[in-house]
Structure 1
Amino acid sequence: MSDYVSLKDLTLAYDKTVAVDRLNLDIHKGELIALLGPSGCGKTTTMRAIAGLLTPRSGTVHIDGRDVTRMPPSRREVGLVFQSYALFPHLSVFENVAFGLRLRREPDLKTKVMDGLATVGLTEFADRQPADLSGGQQQRVSLARSLVMHPKVLLLDEPLSNLDARLRLEMRTELQRVQRETGITMVFVTHDQAEALALADRIVLMRNGAIEQIGSAEEIYNAPVSGFAADFMGFETILPGETGGGLAWRPGAVVLGHGPHQGEIRGASFAGERREYVLESAFGTIKADVPVSETRFEIGQQVAFDLPRESAVELARID
């Protein structure tokens, strides 16, 4: 795969506050990449720079071999799908999708709009108003509106965060299908680890305006490089290693009920097929998940536990 979007030494700032500092990132053609991280990490700011909504303080943005760093958004051939859908409430579904095509005076407008609606499975909704649609359907209209413009890159800014759990799962599948069928390059901004893991070919985990780690979903999930990456990907017990770096355990890897260590149960909650416990120990706070079929522990109870070395992930650093 070739590099299709290239960010070189990109520094982005709001007034005197640097949000992204000398970031370098290459995105392949046809790739679905997730910019993942907590609020304020720089992921949305990076997306805005690709879109042309924010001018870099320094560095460059290239799309399909063109330097677009100083180009306005309208000339970048980039599509945007927002968290809020951003549909025109007074226009029909057809007219919402047709809006950009009309501005460009595109020929065969009806055919292109209906093809776009077919791509997202909404041909029968062409005459409806946005208020008559579910949240998932409105997001599909927003997606179709961008796709009919045939952008080189489609940017999606937290597009699923306004949907309920069932619709989020439905739209994940829809985005994967559309990306697979169209082959379009997608950049997906999210703070949700599950969304990134489910959707992305590669995940760019960001922290304080820089890339903390980049890799496949499996690499990010199973082999975090730092305490921050491990914590963000669900390793809730992180301890310093004996020779530097650190060790991390997911809650399900902690053995509760027997072992060489002692702790006090400070929190207990039912979570369907498992119970989630919080222990205080000589190591600090330990999180443990136990199947509901096993022994139940009560808050205040002293309990033995183990942190099996073979279940730990080694971290290069824990800062």
Structure 2
Amino acid sequence: MSDFVSLEGLTLAYGNTVAVEALNLSIARGELVSLLGPSGCGKTTTMRAIAGLMTPRAGRISIDGRDVTRLPPSRREVGLVFQSYALFPHLSVYENIAFGLRLRGEAGLDARVRDGLATVGLDAFADRAPRDLSGGQQQRVALARSLVMQPKVLLLDEPLSNLDARLRLDMRMELQRVQKETGITMVFVTHDQSEALALSDRIVLMNGGAIEQVGTPEQIYSAPVTGFAADFVGFETILPDDAGGGLAWRPGAVVLGTGPHEGTVRGTAFAGERREYIIESALGRIKADTPASAQALTLGEKVAFDLPQDRAVRLERLG
């Protein structure tokens, strides 16, 4: 896999506060990579640096073999889709998509705008105003506006966070379709693991301005290597082992009602198809799920439980 976007020793800071330190990352041509993590982990800061919206304190950024570290955004051949869409309310859909092309004086404007409309399935909406579109349609206009500029890399900053659950699912599938059809390299910033798992070729999980783990969605979800990674993808019971690492269980892997351990129910919640419990025990806090059809436990009730070793994930480190 050859590098198409390369970040080498990238250090980014706001004043005296370092947000990202000595980060190294390679992205292949045509790959969809998600920068995933909680607020403040450095994912949006990293994206802003790739876009040219902030200057690194140290390190190098290259795109398609060209050092762009000190180049302005207009010379990087990078497209950016914002969380807020940033459409011009006084312009039609057509003119919103054409805006950047007109600014550059590009040839073949009409054909490119029409291709952009077709790519995102908005051929019939060219004359509409943004206010007459749904949130998902507005997001598609923003996507088309970037695509018609033919960027080498498309950056998407939390693009689905303003949509309701159904529209998020629809737009997730739309983004995946567009990316596969165009073959464009995409960097997708999100705090939502379900979005990253569904969309990505690879996920870059970030924590505290550094990369915690890089892998395919299957690797990140099923084989986290640190306590932070495990907790982030739903392994909510994490216990240290004798080797300095740890073991992690998903709530559904904990067996309630039988086993060598005992605890007290300190939290309970009905969650549709399952019931969720927090068990206080000598081992620590245990998070467990049972089918909703199972006999419900009550607060303060004593319960036996087991942590099957064959359903645990081994962690290299807990920090």
Q: Which moved more, 1:104-113 or 1:62-71?
A: 104-113
Q: CA shift at 1:271, angstroms?
A: 1.1
Which residue identity lines up with residue 313 of structure 1 in the other structure?
A: V
Task: Give the equivalent residue in structure 1 for 2:172.
Answer: 172
Amino acid of the structure 1 residue aligned with 2:95? E
The offset of 1:269, in angstroms, is 1.1
Tell me whether 1:17 sits opposite 2:17 in the alignment: yes
2:89 alignment partner, SS class: coil
What is the match of residue 89 of structure 1?
A: 89
In 1, Cα distance between equivalents of 2:281 and 2:166: 38
Query: What CA distance in whole angstroms lies between the structure 2 residues aligned with 1:107 and 1:187?
Result: 28
Equivalence map 1:84-233=2 (5 Å) = 84-233=84-233
Name structure 1 gaps, 5 residues minimum.
none
Moved over 2 A (4+): none
Deviations 1:204-233 (A, max 9, x none): 011111111101111111111110110011
Tell me how large the CA RMSD over aligned residues is: 0.8
Distance 2:88 2:278 in 1: 48
Percentage of identical aligned residues: 76
Q: How does 1:56-71 map to 2 (within 5 A)?
A: 56-71=56-71
Query: In the aligned structure 2, how far is the partner of 1:288 from the partner of 1:209?
Result: 31
Q: Select between 63-72 and 262-271 the one with higher mean Cα deviation.
A: 262-271
Cα offset, 1:244, TM superposition: 2.2
**Aligned residue in 1 for 2:278:** 278
Match of 1:267 in 2: 267
Question: SS at the partner of 1:317?
Answer: coil
User: Which sits farther off after the overlay, 177-186 or 125-134?
Assistant: 125-134
TM-score (norm 2): 0.99
In the alignment, what sits opposite 2:306?
Answer: 306
> 1:44 is matched with which residue?
44
Residue 288 of structure 1 aligns with which residue?
288
What is the SS of the residue equivalent to 1:206? strand
CA shift for structure 1 position 243: 2.8
2:179 is matched by which residue type in structure 1? Q
**How far apart are the structure 1 equivalents of 2:71 and 2:78?**
12
Separation (CA, whole Å) in 1 of partners of 2:105 and 2:299: 68
SS in 1 for 2:235: coil
Letter in 1 for 2:280: E
Summarize deviations over 1:104-135 as a string: whole Å, max 9, x none. Answer: 11122111111101000011111111111111
How far did residue 83 of structure 1 move? 0.6
Aligned residues: 319
Q: Which amino acid aligns with 2:163?
A: L
| Alpha-carbon displacement from aligned partner over 1:162-181 (angstroms, at most 9, x marks no partner) | 11110111011000000000
- Cα deviation for residue 242 of structure 1 reads 2.6
Counterparts of 1:299 and 1:83, CA distance in 2: 42
Partner Cα distance (1:121, 1:66) in 2: 33
| Aligned residue type for 2:94 | F
Give CA-to-partner distance per residue, 1:5-37, whole Å, 9 cap, x none: 001111101111111101110000000000011
